[in-house]
Structure 1
Amino acid sequence: MASVAASGDHRRVKSAAFLFACGCAGAAPHWLDPARSLWPAISLALVLGGYGLRSVMRASFLKTEPESQKLVAERLPTLDVVVAARDEESVVTRLVERLSALRYSAGRLSTWVIDDGSEDRTPQLLDALAQKHPQLQVIHRQRDAGGGKSGALNAALTQLKGEWLLVLDADAQLQEDLLERLMPYALDGGWSAVQLRKAVIDADRNWLTRAQAMEMALDAVLQKGRLESGGVAELRGNGQLIRRAVLQASGGFNEDTVTDDLDLSFRLLTHGALIGILWDPPVQEEAVPTLSALWKQRQRWAEGGLQRFFDYWPTLTSSQLTICQRWDLACFFLLQYGLPVVSFADLSASLVSRTIPTFWPLSVVAFSVSGMAYWRGCRGRQEGPAIPSPGLLNLLVAIAYLGHWFVVIPWVTLKMAVLPKRLVWAKTSHAGEQLPVQA
């Protein structure tokens, strides 16, 4: 598939401009009269806090009933389940067994697993599983074939025949009735793509996995609220259902970005294709269990997140999108990416000028809204693995945990602005059989 993203030099220029703008915004209030130094932060807190609060409160958690929403067999569209797997010997057998148990109309479901140059026993396990499960199609790629996960998915895309494809990670676990409930939701809603809520299967492993389980609930609440307020929802890589014709019209999976899901979300948006969010049933996955693994993962997420805004910003700010969509994207960008970099510049300026930081009102509002999103997401009705309760201790730990973004995003922005880009698709390791299987 042809690349549609911007070049590395193009992104470096935009990263440098973004870094400079945030640096000026964070430092400027320190040279204002002390009586007025807080006004920029207070004004932004009112605007962005109102946006965040509205998104959190607008989110609904409608339950999809497996019987009432089930389509008759003749109406079910053809579907391909697609997984890119590299060095996944610990989870690939469980994955195929779970996919084989999914209920769907006979002859309308195919499963594809791309062995993306694995150096462990993944290729041998997949070939043996293909003999046991006739619906399983295995594609083997050379490790140096290029394109990362996007390249692996594109290799399968040229062979798919289904009307829809469901993209999963190798550690995904699904309820047996998921497809019977997902497809009616997609068709009845007129969506071009649907993202499943992500649920963590190992939340009780340690405090870090518990915080990530709560973070996934927070993310789903914000996504649903943004969508239901007229804004934009996004794909999250694991558990994304996409209409194949729309995907191909959008250029397939972008091999010049480190986060194919975030990039595809914006390309679908620029093609007028809308993404829905399904709360239940969720796609279940593992959390990263260590701080070093989290740091590595979140750097990739931050880089891909910024890339998509830099690459598609002219379209995102044009009349091609609705006013509500443009407002949603602008507010989300400022909260997710602008605030951490501005806060870092604010703190640096306060140390140099020996003054009090000025953007703390906006940070307080942002963390407070996040706490409300935690509370709504963790106490609501949900299927799949239990989400940690939003008690005071869990909430405080989870809110403090979000502070890692205030380190990751400034650091990644600086790297993107200064260092030449070398695309690296770093995979997340999975524990597999070391974890209990969720029903």
Structure 2
Amino acid sequence: MSSNATSGDHRRVKSAAFLFACGCAGAAPHWLDSARSLWPAISLALMLGGYGLRSVMRGQLTRGSSASVPEIDRAKLPSLDVVVAARDEEAVVPRLVERLTSLRYPSSQLTTWVIDDGSLDRTSELLDDLASQHPGLNVIHRQRNAGGGKSGALNTALNRLKGEWLLVLDADAQLQDDLLERLVPYALDGGWSAVQLRKAVIDADRNWLTRSQAMEMALDAVIQSGRLANGGVAELRGNGQLIKRSVLEASGGFNEDTVTDDLDLSFRLLTHGALVGLLWDPPVQEEAVPGLQALWKQRQRWAEGGLQRFFDYWPVLTSAQLSLRQRLDLTAFFLLQYALPVVSFADLSTALITRSVPVYWPLSVVAFSVSGLAYWRGCRDGSEGPEIPSASLANLFVAIAYLGHWFVVIPWVTLRMSLLPKRLVWAKTSHGQEHPVQA
């Protein structure tokens, strides 16, 4: 049996066990007397809500130094590879190369790689033409059926890299010219093995959905920075992740048996004692998903990848190999991000069947309230790059309601993972809008 099949079977069993446990937890309080039925939710709301609140309030929105790097210090900057995996990206490839070639960094220390992963449009042709114009641009062509998805494409480049660090970007990434001069010193000074840039949405003003995603990215950065301040864990987000190559190789490279290489790598780095830092400014700029159908497809992949990595690494994550604070942090946010939506769905289903009142509403209210506070912090503290939507009451109300989609996505994905085998594919987000980079 192949390793993919084996891991798929194990994940299916674990998904079914997780679904069953959450179903029991959601239904059980309905068989208690009314005076005690709310106690499980109230207890969890106090514990998990308290930890989430502490994380939001302690978050430190770190900004890279904007001072010019002296020539003597520039000469000491480590070698760096910028790596982009691209599939059917003809709409954004010219803009991408323009941004990459304008980055300020010692030319002798910087190499740029773009992997054409079997594109069916003009991506391959455009890249070859651009490579002839820019000697520092290296293009790798890969067969579309080579396997491994985005991870496979990145591993193909990893075998050729020589730099001490690599910066992984998506094809729609937009960057400020001084990003590398600020990001790399931050990683070195902080002793980080990897750093994730805050993701900033460049088209937040397109509609309510893109505006909510822009606020969601700010919320995510606030919570991650707070988790770090609590001694917990920060995670990579795919686009805009700087990684020390020696640590990446020691961790086994990019996992080709997962649908979210960034989330999986976050945990493998953690189990190797490598910590991930977070930089608020400068951000990596990207396009939001413009419609509900594309959002549904993207969030299913994110939910599945998020659950996969917990199922795959849970024995290590709960062992003494991690610190007590890290284990508490992972437990709290696993319960809030993944268990709560499934438990809430089971709670609501049981309430409808038994004609009773849902009992987990206190925990849900606390979770949404903490999210609202994280929105408020992220939207009011200022940022470089695209302007984050204001934390007005109307925007907060819509953005909080928008988070409710996770209470549909995660139960559905859990059920699907419990019943169906997974076929690993690269489910990329389509691009095509032209937006100028914002400093």
Q: What is the TM-score when the length of structure 1 is the normalising length?
A: 0.98
The Cα of 1:438 is off from its aligned counterpart by 3.2
Determine if contact 2:176/2:437 at 8 Å carries over to the other structure: no
The Cα of 1:381 is off from its aligned counterpart by 2.0
Please list the CA deviations of residues 152-171 of structure 1 after superposition, one character each: whole Å capped at 9, or x if unmatched.
Answer: 00000000000000000000
Aligned residues: 437
Alignment of 1:210-221 (within 5 A): 210-221=211-222
Determine if contact 1:166/1:240 at 8 Å carries over to the other structure: yes
**For 1:291 and 1:170, how far apart are their aligned partners in 2?**
22
Number of the residue aligned with 1:39: 39
Evaluate the alpha carbon distance shift between residue 430 and residue 3 of structure 1 in structure 2; reply closer, same or farther with a 3 A threshold.
Answer: farther
Matched, 1:389 2:374: no
Matched, 1:10 2:18: no
Number of the residue aligned with 1:278: 279
Matched, 1:248 2:252: no
The runs of 5 or more residues in structure 2 that have no matched partner are none
The Cα of 1:425 is off from its aligned counterpart by 2.0
Matched, 1:378 2:379: yes
SS at structure 1 position matched to 2:107? coil
The runs of 5 or more residues in structure 1 that have no matched partner are none
**For 2:56 and 2:115, how far apart are their aligned partners in 1?**
38
The Cα of 1:436 is off from its aligned counterpart by 4.5
**For 1:4 and 1:413, how far apart are their aligned partners in 2?**
19
Matched, 1:290 2:291: yes
SS at structure 1 position matched to 2:75? helix
**For 1:49 and 1:4, how far apart are their aligned partners in 2?**
37
**For 2:382 and 2:207, how far apart are their aligned partners in 1?**
23
Number of the residue aligned with 1:317: 318
Number of the residue aligned with 1:66: 66
Evaluate the alpha carbon distance shift between residue 80 and residue 148 of structure 1 in structure 2; reply closer, same or farther with a 3 A threshold.
Answer: same
**For 1:84 and 1:41, how far apart are their aligned partners in 2?**
44
The Cα of 1:69 is off from its aligned counterpart by 6.5
**For 1:11 and 1:376, how far apart are their aligned partners in 2?**
37
Evaluate the alpha carbon distance shift between residue 6 and residue 259 of structure 1 in structure 2; reply closer, same or farther with a 3 A threshold.
Answer: farther
Q: Which runs of 4+ in 1 moved over 4 A?
A: 2-6, 68-71
Residue range with higher mean Cα deviation, 102-111 or 5-14: 5-14
Alignment of 1:142-157 (within 5 A): 142-157=143-158
Residue range with higher mean Cα deviation, 161-170 or 53-62: 53-62
Please list the CA deviations of residues 167-213 of structure 1 after superposition, one character each: whole Å capped at 9, or x if unmatched.
Answer: 00000000000000001100000000000000000000110000000
Determine if contact 1:82/1:111 at 8 Å carries over to the other structure: yes
Number of the residue aligned with 2:194: 193
The Cα of 1:75 is off from its aligned counterpart by 1.2
Q: Tell me which amino acid in the other structure corresponds to 1:228.
A: A
**For 2:317 and 2:3, how far apart are their aligned partners in 1?**
19
Number of the residue aligned with 1:260: 261
**For 2:295 and 2:349, how far apart are their aligned partners in 1?**
25
SS at structure 2 position matched to 1:10? helix
Please list the CA deviations of residues 95-152 of structure 1 after superposition, one character each: whole Å capped at 9, or x if unmatched.
Answer: 0000000000121000000000000000010001001111000000011111110000
Evaluate the alpha carbon distance shift between residue 340 and residue 216 of structure 1 in structure 2; reply closer, same or farther with a 3 A threshold.
Answer: same
SS at structure 1 position matched to 2:91? coil
The Cα of 1:67 is off from its aligned counterpart by 1.5
Determine if contact 1:168/1:239 at 8 Å carries over to the other structure: yes
The Cα of 1:6 is off from its aligned counterpart by 6.4
Alignment of 1:353-368 (within 5 A): 353-368=354-369
**For 1:6 and 1:281, how far apart are their aligned partners in 2?**
41
Determine if contact 2:300/2:413 at 8 Å carries over to the other structure: yes
Q: Tell me which amino acid in the other structure corresponds to 2:423.
A: R
Determine if contact 1:61/1:381 at 8 Å carries over to the other structure: no
Q: Tell me which amino acid in the other structure corresponds to 2:167.
A: L
Determine if contact 1:199/1:282 at 8 Å carries over to the other structure: yes
Number of the residue aligned with 2:23: 23
Determine if contact 2:385/2:437 at 8 Å carries over to the other structure: no
RMSD of aligned Cα (Å): 1.4
SS at structure 2 position matched to 1:197? strand
**For 1:125 and 1:438, how far apart are their aligned partners in 2?**
25
Number of the residue aligned with 1:178: 179
SS at structure 2 position matched to 1:198? strand
Determine if contact 2:285/2:437 at 8 Å carries over to the other structure: no
SS at structure 1 position matched to 2:138? strand
Q: Percent identity?
A: 80
Q: Tell me which amino acid in the other structure corresponds to 1:355.
A: S
Number of the residue aligned with 2:137: 136
Q: Tell me which amino acid in the other structure corresponds to 2:358.
A: P
Determine if contact 2:62/2:278 at 8 Å carries over to the other structure: no
**For 1:437 and 1:322, how far apart are their aligned partners in 2?**
40
Determine if contact 2:167/2:241 at 8 Å carries over to the other structure: yes
The Cα of 1:62 is off from its aligned counterpart by 3.1
Number of the residue aligned with 2:404: 403
Number of the residue aligned with 2:122: 121
**For 2:3 and 2:313, how far apart are their aligned partners in 1?**
13
Q: Tell me which amino acid in the other structure corresponds to 1:202.
A: D
Q: What is the TM-score when the length of structure 2 is the normalising length?
A: 0.98
SS at structure 2 position matched to 1:160? coil
The Cα of 1:9 is off from its aligned counterpart by 0.3
Number of the residue aligned with 1:51: 51
Q: Tell me which amino acid in the other structure corresponds to 2:64.
A: T
Determine if contact 1:3/1:254 at 8 Å carries over to the other structure: no
Q: Tell me which amino acid in the other structure corresponds to 1:382.
A: S
Alignment of 1:95-106 (within 5 A): 95-106=96-107
Number of the residue aligned with 2:240: 239
Please list the CA deviations of residues 43-67 of structure 1 after superposition, one character each: whole Å capped at 9, or x if unmatched.
Answer: 0000000010000000012332222
SS at structure 2 position matched to 1:386? coil
Number of the residue aligned with 2:339: 338
